[in-house]
A and B are shown apart, each in its own frame.
Chain A
Amino acid sequence: MLFPAVHELGFKAGQTCYKLWHNAYTLPDVGEALEFVKGFPAMYSIWWWNLVENDPLHVAVETILLLSIIYIMASRSTQGYKNGKDNLSTKETEELLGDWKRTRAPLAPSVEEDGGDGECLIVHEQHGKMLTVSTVNNPGTKTKVMNFCNFDFLGFQTSSLLKKASTEALVKYGCGSCGPRGFYGTIDKHLELEDTISKFVKTDGAIMYSDGASTCSSTVAAFAKRGDVLVVDEGIYEPLMTGVYLSRANVHWFKHNDMEDLERVLDGLHKTDLKLGRKPNALRRFIVVEGLYKNLGTIAPLDKIVDLKNKYNYRLILDESFSFGTLGETGRGALEHFNKRHMYDAEIVTIALENSIGSVGGVTVGNEEVVDHQRLSGAGYCFSASAPPFTASAAIAAIQHMESNVDCIEKLQSNMKLMYGCLEKTLTKLVVTSDERSPIVVLQLTKESEYEADIIKGIMQECLSRGIAIVSTGQDACGHLRTELAPALRITVSALHTEADITTAVDVLEESSKAIMKKFPHYSP
């Protein structure tokens, strides 16, 4: 019953279409076609009822399919803006533009809302370990305080040695270098510094940047590119963080100084490689750590890190900005401290010349390939003016001094011992969280509390008013760090301090903390 009806309908429809298509209809045929069209509804309904009778399942399925197609098409048409071609009228557009202009966010919150300036101190003079400071709002009243705040570990900043070297270079070369290294900004002093420092730490070469912070960020970003692997300690400070971010590499974090966690991360990556069948040399892989952590005052366990890096074939990017001049018997940094060698155990080492060395800028040291690579791809090197020659001159003088006299480093290290001894004896309200070998001393409250930040800030100001300049940290205003820092006090030990200075400072700290905590009765340690 079904079959002939379907056949007939199909045949007739096909024939008609064929003729229409080929313009085969001549005038006499029009009647035939009309007949077909007239008969079509009747034939169609016969066919349809046949179908329903004989194969109801088929009809049901097809109906659902048809309905869903209609539904999808209909719903898509209401989402027309997805393809970005909605036709706004000019008036609508203008309205949108006007609305946005009225409601867009300001560039920065207003001063009143924001609580004014974050900066509060001005340094008027610095002689050796003494600073003369005042507040911004009251520049007339100056007080003399002792420097436990700057990273002037070896006392080079105000030494006559550096001043003499700087003056000589200034008179000869003027101040600025007026150009990037590539275009006549290379002054022989820069080359001399690179030479001096690479000989000092025994590497093939060195490359000088004009700013300490951009040394690390440019270096990391020069080596690690998209797709490469960075395994990074969570405690790194901001410039390294920026480098890591700019590199756009795949970043994997391990807990600060936690070697088991590092091994876990490396092992995980190794397993992934095996699973994907990736060759070990398919990607560049780096471990990024600081020798001495600026924010935490801890020291990276380089012995274990080097073992792991050798086991899993990673290159090591090590920032020695704070460990250079402070760790190791002759001040050559964390690598010396752990009896490791540049280039063999740490491929890429960045050193800021702004801390121990007391000059400006930074260098990256390593083998020839590492150094040459940066000369073309270190952003802060290629695209920024080179450092003023006097800074190179000052740094050379400082390094030469370090090389010939280890006294200052010994003095620093004995001061450190003294400081930690005193702190342990005297302090009741604060705990030391930094490493005993670190000249950056970090102190925290014994107990977490909502008042922590205020107390820390208060202690810092109290100490300042009693003539000891220390730093309160922990307000990461920019959200640049990986882990939030607990509010803490930072004290910097320097070779310039005498025994009496250190004991006084610790006493002042203890007294100040007691005095401040009285103001916070709800805080009980």
Chain B
Amino acid sequence: MKQQSRLRRLLGLKEKNAEKEINDLSTEYPETEVSSTSSGIASHDSSVDDDGFQDDAFADVRDRMEELSARDRSRYASHSESHAEEELKLPVFAAYTTYLGYAVLILCGHIRDLFANIFGHGRYLRRKTPYSSDNLQVFAPLLKSWENFYTRRLYHRIQDCFNRPIASSPGASIQVLERVSDNGTKTLELLGTLDDLDSDKQREEYEKSPHFVKVSQDRVARNCLNLGSYNYLGFADDWNITCKDEVVGSMEDLPVSNSSPRNEYGTTRLHREVEERVARFLGKEDALCLNMGFNTNCTTIPALVHRGDLIISDELNHTSIVNGARASGAAIRIFHHNNSKHLEDILREAIVMGRPRTRRPWNKILVIVEGIYSMEGEYCDLANVVRVCKKYGAHVYLDEAHSIGAMGPTGRGCSEYCGVDTSDIDIMMGTFTKSFGGMGGYIAASKDVISFLRKSCAGSSYHNSLSPVVCQQVISSFKVVMGEDGTNIGKQKIHALRDNSNYFRMRLEDMGLHVLGHYDSPIIPVMLYNPTKICSFSRECFKRGLAVVVVGFPAVPIITSRARFCISAGHTREQLDHALKEIEEVADKLKLRYAVSTFG
């Protein structure tokens, strides 16, 4: 379902002249124009002056960057369907070659399977094992055939692009441990030390690489620029300065972990402090923090809605939301990604028609959206979603996993960025794993909701609470972001993140790559399409000392494979320029310039 509607929008839609649209918009929707300048860009500029950042690293391109960011902001000002169609067109050539690529891969896979069976020799033939459950006469295999085929013949071939282990903090530059495989990347092992290599020639090859480093215990690693971690505010880079003392100090009086739920003995004074701070930061009455962002969604949604309620969810929502919605027993409807018009249609119909078959009215309707969509790099059309929900009386649940700390002039997330009053958002959820370099998730809402959740959400009444050490990490990083540590490090981080992201995005677009998402979002996906380009892009970048993330099916629809850059405040302009230069080379080599040429 999801995939189809997505493809429908990608395929064969009219191309629009963005410039022209903006002009139309600004005359048609004057009030949104005003709000966008008042909350965002203007205050950004003035604060730069206040804090006296004399040397603006991006002075030469500042005007263009601001212009582009304003262009994207105005996109949502129009509450017409047009913005849904604005996306870049899927190049027909790329689409066909992608399908062809998969066809060839699948064919080859089947041929390999066939020969393996004929000759009784192949790395995927089942070895005899002593475990009773491996007797497939009486046990069904754990993986059904297509899943199994996909994993074996497609995923395993490019497995070296994923799960790369690192031996350092996930800051701007990381040390990625080298891995080797003796069975065509079916399994990968850590290389260990150079002495584990067989020949001098191989040893030399590693040593000659400009990115070669040895990490503890002489293990071979590669020094890479990290363009993949969600380290938006760069707390992994300066952790030893900003957070270390307090975090390590927290262990003096409190344990490493709590083996008790929040309702029993799992609430320490630090938990209360985290919650108080989160609530204050977001301007909500109260907050609740739980052990894992994923579980925060999975346990609070079922606590809030039940059978007889309706969940209306964006089609690209994260798995944790999907799991939570499913576990709740409520009815679920899906609206087109970021399309508030479609949301409104669904809402109207749902309210008028009531529940299917019984026709009773819904008890309540919960609309679930995300602040930034992690695979698209787009931020939510929050102003319109909230307007629609308010109009009809639906509740809004906003997952700010990626946007909290990373968006808005003071890092308060998507609501601040979009100029939406947080009191209009019933539930604000977010995680500490990303911008704040910790772990866990929070729910910020009214006193009623939080007090209800404390008692009735499984995460708070059954699951063990957040570790006090992590609580302290969250407190320390919040202090920095809120400027309560007595420095303006937090402010600098937020500005640096925005500038870095916009600069990187602008330059990628200039290169002619097919870039998704909006300006001001730190997630920048670049389309690769062809299955073979997934691994070649990752490997080529890795060779050049860039650690990038590539995403293929099933995380995204099968023909829209992409690379995803996550920019951090910890990156410097030199690092970004270096990365861009290397990416340009790779793009030439792999023919990725789909935005300027059909053939890439």
* Residues in A lying within 8 Å of B, measured CB to CB: 81, 84, 88, 93, 96-97, 100-111, 114, 116-119, 121-127, 131, 133, 136, 139, 147, 149-152, 156-158, 162-163, 166-167, 170-179, 181-188, 190-191, 210-214, 217, 223, 225, 228, 237-239, 242, 245-246, 280-285, 310, 313, 315, 343-344, 347, 352, 354-355, 358-360, 367, 369-370, 373, 375-376, 379-380, 382-385, 387-388, 390-391, 394, 469, 471, 477-478, 480
The smallest C-beta distance from A25 to any residue of chain B, in angstroms, reads 52
Q: Which chain B positions have C-beta within 8 A of A152?
A: 255, 259
Sorting the interface of chain B by its residue count into under 10, 10 to 19, 20 to 34 or 35 or more gives 35 or more
Contacting pair B256 A376 (CB below 8 A): no
Q: For residue A221, which residue of chain B has the nearest CB?
A: B323
Assess whether B437 is interfacial by the CB under 8 Å rule. Answer: yes
Q: Which 3 A-B pairs have the closest CB atoms?
A: A101-B393, A118-B455, A108-B452
10 CB contacts below 8 A, A to B, read: A97-B352, A104-B393, A114-B455, A119-B455, A122-B269, A152-B255, A170-B469, A245-B327, A380-B294, A385-B431
Contacting pair B257 A358 (CB below 8 A): yes
Contacting pair B456 A174 (CB below 8 A): no
Decide yes or no: A122 and B437 within 8 Å by CB, A104-B362, A184-B228, A375-B163 being known contacts.
Answer: no
Contacting pair A171 B244 (CB below 8 A): yes
Give Cα distance in the complex from A225 to B130, angstroms.
26
Contacting pair B549 A184 (CB below 8 A): yes
Q: Which chain B positions have C-beta within 8 A of A284?
A: 139-140, 142
Give Cα distance in the complex from A282 to B139, angstroms.
8
Contacting pair B243 A175 (CB below 8 A): yes
Give Cα distance in the complex from A207 to B237, angstroms.
27
Q: Which chain B positions have C-beta within 8 A of A186?
A: 163-166
User: B364-384 interface mask toward A, CB cutoff 8 Å, 1 = contact, 0 = none?
Assistant: 111000000000000000000
Decide yes or no: A167 and B257 within 8 Å by CB, A107-B364, A117-B454, A367-B129 being known contacts.
Answer: no
Given A104-B361, A117-B451, A384-B433; 20 other pairs, CB 8 A cutoff:
A100-B361, A107-B366, A116-B451, A119-B262, A119-B267, A123-B269, A149-B260, A170-B244, A174-B171, A174-B235, A175-B473, A176-B433, A178-B437, A184-B228, A280-B139, A380-B292, A385-B230, A388-B470, A478-B461, A480-B458
Assess whether B411 is interfacial by the CB under 8 Å rule. Answer: no
Chain B contacts with A in 429-450, Cβ cutoff 8 A: 431-434, 436-439, 445, 447-449
Q: For residue A149, which residue of chain B has the nearest CB?
A: B265
Contacting pair B230 A179 (CB below 8 A): yes
Q: Which chain B positions have C-beta within 8 A of A315?
A: 133, 139
Q: For residue B390, which residue of chain A has the nearest CB?
A: A101
Contacting pair B165 A131 (CB below 8 A): no
Q: Which chain A positions have C-beta within 8 A of B177?
A: 188
Give Cα distance in the complex from A379 to B177, angstroms.
25
Q: Which chain B positions have C-beta within 8 A of A382?
A: 319
Contacting pair A385 B362 (CB below 8 A): no
Q: Which of the 9-residue segments B8-16, B51-59, B76-84, B246-254 touches chain A?
A: B246-254
Give Cα distance in the complex from A415 to B207, angstroms.
57
Number of A-B contacts (CB under 8 A): 362
Contacting pair A373 B143 (CB below 8 A): yes
Decide yes or no: A150 and B260 within 8 Å by CB, A171-B240, A384-B294 being known contacts.
Answer: yes
Assess whether B268 is interfacial by the CB under 8 Å rule. Answer: yes
Contacting pair A104 B427 (CB below 8 A): no
Give Cα distance in the complex from A88 to B46, angstroms.
53
The smallest C-beta distance from B351 to any residue of chain A, in angstroms, reads 5
Contacting pair A379 B294 (CB below 8 A): yes
Assess whether B115 is interfacial by the CB under 8 Å rule. Answer: no
Assess whether B298 is interfacial by the CB under 8 Å rule. Answer: yes
Q: Which chain A positions have C-beta within 8 A of B260?
A: 149-151, 471
Assess whether B202 is interfacial by the CB under 8 Å rule. Answer: no
Q: Which chain A positions have C-beta within 8 A of B140?
A: 228, 281-285
- Greatest chain B CB density within 10 A among A185, A355, A375 is at A185
Assess whether B239 is interfacial by the CB under 8 Å rule. Answer: yes
The smallest C-beta distance from A437 to any residue of chain B, in angstroms, reads 20
Give Cα distance in the complex from A181 to B229, angstroms.
10
Contacting pair A313 B438 (CB below 8 A): no
Q: For residue A394, which residue of chain B has the nearest CB?
A: B256
Assess whether B131 is interfacial by the CB under 8 Å rule. Answer: yes
